[in-house]
């Protein structure tokens, strides 16, 4: 290689192929501690010299304006360093590690951060949406084992299955945290995720059990009292499975009908540990009288079992446990598996988390405000999460509220026909008996059969003539009075009032007998 031109901040070198390589010093690499250079190659050609000068100027400006990547590190190196410093729960860290090892490193691991841009990330997300195995459209056989074997029906041609939108969103969250850390560490100056189209947030579509299914589940679960109580508490409180496993007796205040949720049990493979709740917030849930009564019975049952082996239950022992002394907690995965098996025996494919959905939807359907539901479930954001997840049930409750309001509103002064069109005053609605009576009298007044000052038939006479109750006849008179056609007072018969020209709103009396 032959150096063609030098500058204080960079140089242009001619390669043996005739191409020109631009090289600019950009400081010390924070990861390796070595000198860091920006490099870019310009293909050979008649305008190569001019293009190289432009590239040199651009790279120097990027360095001067601190817009250049300050390391030669690749995406895989960033993700490893990010996991060393990120402050998350162990379960979240495990999910991040799985996402990094399964998807990020195989597709982006060797990509330099300097070359990570919106196009690369959009292609990355498209690959995940196409096939979770990153096959790239190439056919291959999925073998039952990697060891030498004779293929049988277990070895099948690969079928592309897209990665779930929720999983892609979690990968995006992991990448976002790593890129923000890279900016803080001055590895890069621009966040490439801002140049890419982020994956859409998957729509929430909870499937709570129906009332009939919930009844069958409870009846099946209570064949074993401890298991039935766990399912019942999950259904009535909406607590998460880890929170149920961590529940202690001293968290229950049965005298004041409340339950405190303070910790949760997390699990990774066979290892379990106690940690904060998912939102790192403690909450107190009010219990209904039936749940309080069942918990008292269950407490008495647990104490009798403990006494039978000479053990006394401590106040801080677990509410749900396999041990007689209730000193150990249940494993969340065991609870999930048992619930699935129970539902499978009933002919349904369900998971324990659907009981949480059942509690939320039933509360919303009962008219409980969203903020209160969010407090019971332990949702953050003051109800934002609750609204997003259960928006369909909130809309349904809103429709019920509109129906209840309509039932308490006074009758509108404009009659509406069955097609939703307003009736004209000459087309009265006679679908109800009292409206028929009022229409006949209105027609008699309009035709002059009942002149101003004349009295109407008594309520008893109208009821007998139209074969209705006296209350219906009273309602007809009240309708005419509200229309300004008659006047009535307590103890006196209704009298036709004088109508100004054009003010009478009646119909022609057709086939109506003249009232006596």
> Is-contact 438 444, C-beta < 8 A?
no
Q: Output the CA angle 166-168-171, nearest 5 degrees.
A: 115
Determine the Cα–Cα distance for residues 172 and 13; give it in Å rounded to an integer: 39
Determine the Cα–Cα distance for residues 78 and 109; give it in Å rounded to an integer: 9
pLDDT at 431: 63
Q: Which residues pair with 272 in a beta bridge?
A: 267
Low-confidence ranges of the chain (pLDDT < 50): 1-7, 424-427, 501-516
- Phi, psi at residue 171, to the nearest 5°? -65, -40
Closest CA to 274 of 247, 234, 309: 247
CA 19 to mean position of chain CA atoms: 56
- Phi, psi at residue 405, to the nearest 5°? -65, -40
pLDDT at 512: 37
pLDDT at 447: 77
Please state whether beta strands 263-268 and 271-276 pair in parallel, antiparallel, or not at all (unpaired).
Answer: antiparallel
pLDDT at 346: 95
pLDDT at 407: 56
Own/partner long-range contacts of 214-221 (Cβ < 8 Å, ≥24 apart) = 214/358, 216/346, 217/342, 217/343, 217/346, 220/342, 220/345, 220/346, 221/342
Closest CA to 217 of 395, 27, 399, 354: 354
pLDDT at 413: 52
Q: Give percent above pLDDT 90 in the chain.
A: 36
> Is-contact 258 232, C-beta < 8 A?
no
- Phi, psi at residue 272, to the nearest 5°? -125, 155
pLDDT at 67: 57
């Amino acid at each position: 290689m032959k150096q063609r031109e030098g500058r204080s901040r960079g140089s242009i070198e001619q390669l043996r192929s005739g191409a020109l390589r631009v090289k600019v010093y950009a400081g010390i690499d924070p990861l390796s501690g070595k000198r860091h250079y920006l490099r870019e190659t310009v293909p050979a050609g008649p305008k190569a010299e001019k293009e190289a000068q432009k590239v040199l100027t651009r790279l120097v400006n990027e360095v001067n304006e601190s817009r250049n990547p300050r390391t030669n590190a690749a995406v895989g190196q960033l993700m490893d360093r990010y996991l060393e410093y990120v402050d998350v729960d162990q379960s979240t860290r495990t999910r991040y590690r799985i996402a990094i090892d399964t998807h990020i490193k195989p597709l982006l691991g060797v990509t330099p951060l300097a070359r990570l841009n919106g196009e690369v990330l959009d292609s990355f997300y498209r690959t995940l949406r196409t096939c979770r195995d990153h096959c790239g459209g190439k056919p291959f056989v999925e073998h039952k084992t990697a060891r030498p074997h004779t293929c049988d029906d277990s070895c099948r041609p690969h079928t592309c299955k897209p990665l779930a939108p929720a999983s892609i969103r979690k990968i995006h969250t992991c990448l976002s945290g790593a890129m923000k850390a890279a900016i803080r560490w001055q590895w890069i100056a621009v966040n490439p995720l801002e140049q890419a189209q982020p994956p859409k947030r998957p729509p929430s579509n909870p499937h709570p059990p129906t009332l009939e299914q919930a009844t069958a589940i409870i009846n099946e679960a209570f064949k074993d009292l401890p298991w039935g109580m766990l399912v019942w508490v999950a259904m009535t409180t909406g607590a998460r499975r880890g929170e149920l496993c961590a529940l202690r007796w001293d968290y229950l205040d049965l005298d004041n009908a409340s339950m405190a949720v303070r910790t949760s049990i997390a699990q990774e493979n066979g290892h379990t540990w106690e940690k904060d709740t998912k939102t790192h917030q403690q909450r107190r849930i009010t219990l209904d009288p039936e749940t309080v009564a069942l918990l008292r019975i269950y407490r008495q049952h647990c104490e009798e079992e403990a006494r039978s082996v000479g053990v006394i239950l401590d106040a801080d022992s677990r509410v749900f446990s396999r041990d007689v002394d209730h000193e150990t907690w249940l494993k969340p995965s065991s609870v999930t598996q048992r619930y699935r098996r129970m539902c499978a025996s009933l002919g349904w494919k369900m998971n324990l988390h659907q009981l949480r959905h059942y509690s939320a939807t039933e509360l919303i359907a009962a008219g409980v405000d969203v903020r209160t539901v969010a407090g019971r479930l332990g949702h953050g954001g003051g109800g934002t999460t609750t609204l997003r997840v259960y928006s369909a049930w909130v809309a349904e409750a809103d429709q019920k509220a509109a129906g209840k309001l309509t039932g308490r509103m006074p009758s509108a002064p404009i009659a509406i026909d069955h097609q939703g069109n307003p009736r004209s005053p000459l087309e009265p609605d006679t679908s109800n008996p009292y409206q028929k009576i009022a229409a006949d009298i209105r027609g008699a007044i309009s035709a002059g059969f009942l002149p101003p000052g004349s009295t109407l038939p008594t309520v008893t006479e109208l009821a007998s003539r139209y074969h209705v109750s006296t209350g219906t006849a009273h309602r007809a008179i009240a309708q005419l009075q509200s229309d300004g056609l008659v006047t009535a007072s307590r103890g006196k018969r209704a009298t036709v009032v004088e109508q100004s020209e054009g003010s009478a709103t009646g119909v022609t009396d057709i086939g109506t007998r003249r009232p006596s």
